[in-house]
Structure formats: C-alpha cells, structure tokens
Structure 1
Amino acid sequence: MSEPPRFDRGHTDDLMSFLAASPTPYHAVANTAERLEKAGFRQVAETDAWDGTAGGKYVLRGGAIVAWYVPEGAEAHTPFRIVGAHTDSPNLRVKPRPDSGAHGWRQVAVEIYGGPLLNSWLDRDLGLAGRLSLRDGTTRLVDVDRPLLRVPQLAIHLDRAVNSDGLKLDKQRHMQPVWGLGEDVRDGDLVAFLEETAGLPEGSVTGWDLMVHPVEPPAYLGRDRELVAGPRMDNLLSVHAGMAALAAAAARGSDLSYIPVLAAFDHEENGSQSDTGADGPLLGSVLERSVHARGGSLEDRARALAGTVCLSSDTGHAVHPNYAERHDPTHHPRVDGGPILKVNVNNRYATDGSGRAVFAAACEKAGVPFQTFVSNNAMPCGTTIGPITAARHGIKTVDIGVAILSMHSVRELCGAKDPFLLANALTAFLEG
C-alpha cells in the first residue's frame, strides 16, 4: 500500500457545512446538485430526450439524485462504477393535520420516520424544514433553522424510577413537540406560519413534506478536535464523500475506464420501496437511458451492467468503549481507522470475496487503510441498499462505510479523518 493521504481537514469542514445545510433529503440533493454544477455537471430532465454527449449530467427526483460522467470516447457498452448512498435519516415528520395541542400548549402532530433513538430527540431545540407543494404545481424548499419546537421530557419528580428502570416512551403520546401556548387549536396555523416564513401568498400551499431537525450545528469534539459530532451522518457523510469523489473522477476527463456514477436514494430507512428509493426503477432507468443515448442496444446494456460494480456506502458501527461485548470479539472497527468493509453471510450486506478484492484494490491505490465489520452472532445486523441494488439490477455490489457511534441518534459521532479517507477510497474506485 502506498503512503496514506495526509488528513485534509478542509474536506471535513465542508462535510460539516453540508450537514448543516441539509436538514432534509430535498435540501441534501439540492446542495449536491449545486456542488456538481460548479464542477461542470448539468441537469437533464427525465421528460426530455437525452443525448450521448460527453460530460457530467444528473437527474433529480424528489429526495434522490443520480449523477454520472461520460468521458470522451466512451462506448455504449462501457461499464459503470457506482457509489450508492441514501439521503434520508430517522426523524420526526409532520402529519397531514399538523395542528394539535392540549392543556394550554400548542403542539405539532408528528409521525416517527424510520428507527430513531427516541430519547435523543428529547429536550432539544428543534427546527422545521422540508418541501412545500404549491397550488401552481411547483415546489419550494423551506427551512426554519432556529429553535421552534421542543419535545419536553417528563421531570424525574414525576417518574422516580426512570434512572433505575429505564426511559419508556410511547411514540404517539410522548413524542409530540410543543411550539407555543394557546387554548385554541386552529387548523392551518403551522402551514400559514410556513407560508409567511417562505414569503408565499396565503393559501398557496396545498401539500407538504416536513420534518423536524436539531438546530445545533455540527462541531469538532475532544481535546485535539479529532472527533466530529453532528446530525444525519447516517448517511449524508457518504453522499458528501461520493459527491466529492465523482467530481474528482470527472476532473480526469477522458482518462477513465468506466463511467463513474453517484446514486443517492431516499427512503432507505423504511425499506427503499418508493419511486426515489433503491428498490425503485430510478437507477436502472438512468443507466439504461445513458446506454441508449450513446447509441447502445439491449446487448450493449447487458454488457455494460455485467462489468459494473457498485460500492454501497453507509455508516456502520464503531466499537463502543462502554458496550464492547455487543460487538463481534474479533471485529472491532475503530474511528479514524479507515472505511469499513461490511460482511454478512446471510446477505444483509452484499459483500462477497470478489467484492472485497475490488474494494481492497481501491484502498491500496488510494493509500487508505480499511477495516472489516461483522455483527455479533447474537445480534442480527441491519441492512442497506447494497443487497437491493445487487438483486434488482444484477450488479456486483460491495457494502462499505465509515464507523461511527450513536447511529440513529439525533447527533452522531465520527472521527475527523474518516470522511476524507472514505472520499479518497471512493475516488480511486470510480477512477478504476
């Protein structure tokens, strides 16, 4: 292996800015698109006919983005190198009738999205962000990035056994945030507030996809600032690294053996079964249309996919110093130890031996160390978009990521070097 890359804190600084500016999947893909535009990519509409010209292109659909770079001289059957990730994180999402309250408190009715650590949302200053659908058929992003809501915890005086018996939270009764005082609950108050905040005419909002987020910004942590604490690292950390890697690969121009792709999907946290999820048709449609735009046939598409590899990049579990017994005794990934290769023989992860070799080669080329993650046999692991991508498209897929603590908390923890190491490994992979 070559010399490891020198840690570039600028990459981690930019990650922290990206996390803070991306409170929802819709904001995440808008910010990704903006960065790719600066790197020379251009948006193509799914409703338009596509051409086969060289260069960087991307498609936006809701909370998902697929971007790719076609080098000069690429043939119709040129294989793809794909970095897969997801834009969504577990959180609290606003219900269709959001205005609620009782006993003099104004509240917002929320539904639990994914599998958050509920206790981490208590007694936090929370903002509200998302997508507003307007009467004229357009959409508008909105972000109230200030203390607006709070889910207050019950005082210990009214729950004396909480420290000995553990905190027990009912998702319906205990997770509804407060945002003001008043005896009347008037339908339309929250939407009217957001219309005013966004500078929209009264009554112009007819639909919404809104979610709660913590307003505390990401921060370096520790004596030597060697840790990063922040929201939505699962999995915007991978989206950001994939975006940086794609831009770096595109900068090489025609000196590429593959067509590099970033596919960042929505709805991974609840199964990926949507038109913007990994189990939907979006990626397959983009790849197929890219082949056809370059004059390719069904045979060319089959040849291209047969040589394609996807790295499914998602955060994983670093060994926890207070709960080491929860981990496999021979696999203890550490923060700042380099990206992790995820393995599960029951196909909860898509990695096999040949996939390991592809990832090992990329890390060796980049001078990046890597680690291996396997779950404790007594604790079944989660899953990712990896097995879904492999099964749906017949693409060799490898599951990787960065080891973090406090996964699915409102505020997660990673090493300050690992995001940069991941981006270097992904760049080497995309460049082939």
Structure 2
Amino acid sequence: MSPDALAHAADLADFVAASPSSFHAAAEVGRRLTDAGFTPLDEQDAWPSQPGGRFLVVRDGAVIAWVVPQGAGTCTAVRVFGAHSDSPGFKLKPKPTTGRLGWLQAGVEIYGGPLLNSWLDRELRLAGRIALDDGSTVLAATGPLLRLPQLAIHLDRAANDGLALDKQMQTQPVWGLGDEDSADLLGELASAAEVDAARIRGYDIVTADAARGAVFGKDDVFFAAARLDDLASVHAGVVALARAADGVGDDIAMLAVFDHEEIGSETRSGAAGPFLSDVIERVQLALGADREEQHRALASSWCVSSDVGHSVHPNYAGKHDPVVRPVLGSGPILKINANQRYATDGVGAAAWNGWCADAGVGSQEFVSNNSVPCGSTIGPITATRLGIRTVDVGIPILSMHSARELAGVSDLRDLSRVAEVFFRG
C-alpha cells in the first residue's frame, strides 16, 4: 500500500477517534478547517462579502464550509460536496441511570438502523452535547465505560442458529456494579466535560465504539473503524477542501456535512432542513445577487452526495447484482438507482467519471439486486430542495451499519483526490 494512502488512513483514524458523536464531528471539522485558515462565522452575525475568503459555520451537529474565489460575482455557481456526521447506534433516554440485580445499566433508545449484534461485547463510550442551566452547551465524551454483554452459549444453545435481540430488554448496556439509587450516569458525563452535574438541563448523548481504527490485511489493504458511514466521506471532504482552498476554480467550493441522515434528515441540521439553502442564499446575498441571479447560479451548480455503499460480499454473493459487483480497493463508487433513491443520472455519471479521470482514480458502479430494497442518501433530498444537479457517490464497504465497518485503504484516499478535483473545478 502506498505511503500516501496509509497516511490518509492514519489521519482518518485520528478523525474518527475525535468524532464519537455528530457534535464532535462538526467541531473537529471546524477545528481542522480553522487551522487551515477558515474563519468561523455565527449565524446571528452579519457575514462578510469579500471574494477570496474562506469561511465555516456550525449548526448543532452539522457544519458547512466554503471558499469564495477571487473572481466571484452575482451568478457564481456552487460546487457542494455533501456528507453526514451521524451514524446508527444508541442514544440515551431520559432518566438514563437504570439497573437490576446488582448491575448498573444505561437506558438507551435505538438510533437509526444499527446492526444490533455487532454492538455486543465491545467497550463503548458515551459522547455528545450537554445543555447547561445558563443556556450554554458543552461537548462531553467519556472513555470506555459501557458494554452489551452477550448471553453465554451454555445458556442459549440455539444462539448460533439465529440470534434475535429484544430491542428493549437486551440492548441496555452495563456500566458498573451497585444500586442505581447511588449512581449517576450523567455524573460520569459531567465529569468528562468538567462541569457540575447539577447544572445539566438537557442532553443529546449517543454510544460510540471505543476501539481505534486500524489498518490490516495482506499488503495493508483493509481499514476497519467505527462510523465509517459516513465519517469516511466527511474526512475526505475536509482534506480535499483544505488542499483546494488556495486553488479553487471559478465556482464557490463548499463542504456540507449534515446531521440526522440515518433517521430521515428532517431536522434543522439535516439535509431536508434549511441549513444548506440558508448558507447558499446568504453567500449569494453577500455577493450582491438578486433573486434572478441566485436562480441562475443554482442552475449551473453541482452537488456530489458522498456516502458509503455496499461492496460485493464473498460469503453472500446472492445479495448483490449478478453483474455489477464493486469491491474494496478498486476505487470509489458511482451509485445508481432507477427509482432515484440515488440522484445520479446519465449527465451526473459523465461528470463523475470525468472528475475521476482528472484525478487519476478508477471508479466503480453500484446498483442493487432487484430483490433487495435500495437505501437512499442526502442526494435526492438536496436535488429536490435546491434543484442542483446531483450525483451520488461514495466508497464500497462491508458490514455497513455495524459498530465497526470495513473499507479499502486506497479507496479512502482516492475519494478525497476526486473531491479535490471537484472543488478545483
């Protein structure tokens, strides 16, 4: 494996470790881009109008960053690379400190569509946002704290014949021993955030796998980590935008990282909400565009919606299309669906293949087996909301929605290389 690809994977491992929740991911994107010369903006302030600037704004667990070229005008198009910051897992319920029979447990609710059995017998962290009594918020993340212990096979001889977990009774992790009346899970979070637990008035806290991402396999071809869906795309976009910032073309280069994709995107920080349209409109207004010019700019804009897709699985070949079979290590994927669950069309496919060629990167296609329902992404949502030409892409992985997913090391770097070409126009 090339040194560049291995370095990219090592940096992704750092990024995932720093991003155990969507709020942490947005903050880490902001930190990295601020270090690269981007100026953070507040949505409540007036925004600067000068061409040549690079800016970012965080809304909850979402973040949008952009570079305005020197020659930008009222009809300048936008090139959006979109991804999402959230991942399937578990989220703390109200009154989260529970337990029985001498065990302390955490009351959790299933978030999105996790592969439940993959969360068994792993050390888990708690991470997210805490709202305090003065209206402020702080980020909190514990170290390894919880575990979902599986029942021994001696007590369930049929476990290997088909494991089915009760989503309420058998998904509540343990985190200590003792009486729930003498323990406080929120206190653990408050301690991690260095605040007084009595000041907590609300929280958005999820579980995250505590294990670090790792490269392995013959010739170091594999990379396994939590939350590759979709932090692999977020990281690729951040790296690409930072590299392209000094050399963008005629269009505004924009990275849009949304929250809540795994539960439908219909929130103020999700792709179905107003965040992207708000930011684009404010950027256009700052450049002096009227309504007619805004529409003209959008008509010539592009969105690349990047999310993971399925690699062909050697043990379940019948679940995949019999002809179109992407595999790890052979390049990013172009995602296609006749019913527009992905927004790719022929024009978008041609554009994507051109960007890949310019980047010197191979590309694969993905299409579902007709008998297996197809998922969706932020792509169709963005195309519908804004009318921007949109193409759905990503990297192939195995174990999608597992607590720990599997990618190809070279694909991770190659996606970022294509994103950089896209940003540069």
TM-score by length of 1: 0.96
1:260 and 2:257 are equivalent in the alignment = no
The one of 159, 162, 176 aligned to 2:159? 162
The one of 3, 9, 12 aligned to 2:6? 9
Aligned to 2:236: 241
Q: Do the aligned partners of 1:342 and 1:373 also contact (CA within 8 Å) in 2?
A: yes
CA deviation after TM superposition for structure 1 residue 126, in Å: 1.1
Aligned to 1:27: 24
Alignment of 1:84-99 (within 5 A): 84-99=82-97
Aligned to 1:280: 273
Alignment of 1:127-276 (within 5 A): 127-146=125-144, 148-164=145-161, 166-185=162-181, 189-252=184-247, 256-276=249-269
1:71 and 2:69 are equivalent in the alignment = yes
SS at match of 1:127: strand
Hey, what's the Cα distance between the residues in 2 that align with 1:343 and 1:281?
A: 26
Aligned to 1:109: 107
Aligned to 1:58: 56
Residue-by-residue CA offset, 1:216-260 (whole Å, 9 max, x unaligned): 1111111322110100000000000011111122121xx512111
Alignment of 1:387-398 (within 5 A): 387-398=380-391
SS at match of 2:237: helix
Residue-by-residue CA offset, 1:140-183 (whole Å, 9 max, x unaligned): 1111122x11111111122111112x001111010000111123
The one of 29, 42, 46 aligned to 2:39? 42
Hey, what's the Cα distance between the residues in 1 that align with 2:267 and 2:233?
A: 21
Residue 299 and residue 321 in structure 1: after superposition, are their counterparts in 2 closer, same or farther (change >3 A)?
A: same
What is the aligned length? Answer: 423
Give unmatched runs, 5+ long, in structure 2. none
Aligned to 2:415: 422
The one of 398, 401, 411 aligned to 2:394? 401
Give unmatched runs, 5+ long, in structure 1. none
Worse overlay, 46-55 or 294-303 = 46-55
Hey, what's the Cα distance between the residues in 2 that align with 1:6 and 1:195?
A: 40
Letter of the aligned partner of 1:11 in structure 2? H
Residue 219 and residue 205 in structure 1: after superposition, are their counterparts in 2 closer, same or farther (change >3 A)?
A: same
Letter of the aligned partner of 2:315 in structure 1? N
Residue 111 and residue 205 in structure 1: after superposition, are their counterparts in 2 closer, same or farther (change >3 A)?
A: same
Aligned to 2:80: 82
Letter of the aligned partner of 2:176 in structure 1? G
The one of 309, 314, 322 aligned to 2:315? 322
Hey, what's the Cα distance between the residues in 2 that align with 1:12 and 1:297?
A: 44
Q: Do the aligned partners of 1:51 and 1:294 also contact (CA within 8 Å) in 2?
A: no
Aligned to 2:364: 371
Letter of the aligned partner of 2:369 in structure 1? N
Q: Do the aligned partners of 1:130 and 1:209 also contact (CA within 8 Å) in 2?
A: yes
Letter of the aligned partner of 1:277 in structure 2? G
Q: Do the aligned partners of 2:140 and 2:190 also contact (CA within 8 Å) in 1?
A: no
Residue-by-residue CA offset, 1:310-336 (whole Å, 9 max, x unaligned): 000000000101111110011110111
CA deviation after TM superposition for structure 1 residue 8, in Å: 3.3
Q: Do the aligned partners of 2:71 and 2:250 also contact (CA within 8 Å) in 1?
A: no
The one of 334, 345, 354 aligned to 1:352? 345
Q: Do the aligned partners of 1:101 and 1:185 also contact (CA within 8 Å) in 2?
A: no
Give the alignment's Cα RMSD to 1 decimal: 1.3
Letter of the aligned partner of 2:384 in structure 1? A
Q: Do the aligned partners of 2:186 and 2:197 also contact (CA within 8 Å) in 1?
A: no
CA deviation after TM superposition for structure 1 residue 193, in Å: 2.5
1:291 and 2:284 are equivalent in the alignment = yes
TM-score by length of 2: 0.97
Residue-by-residue CA offset, 1:44-67 (whole Å, 9 max, x unaligned): 111111121131111100000011
Residue-by-residue CA offset, 1:109-133 (whole Å, 9 max, x unaligned): 0000000000000111111111111
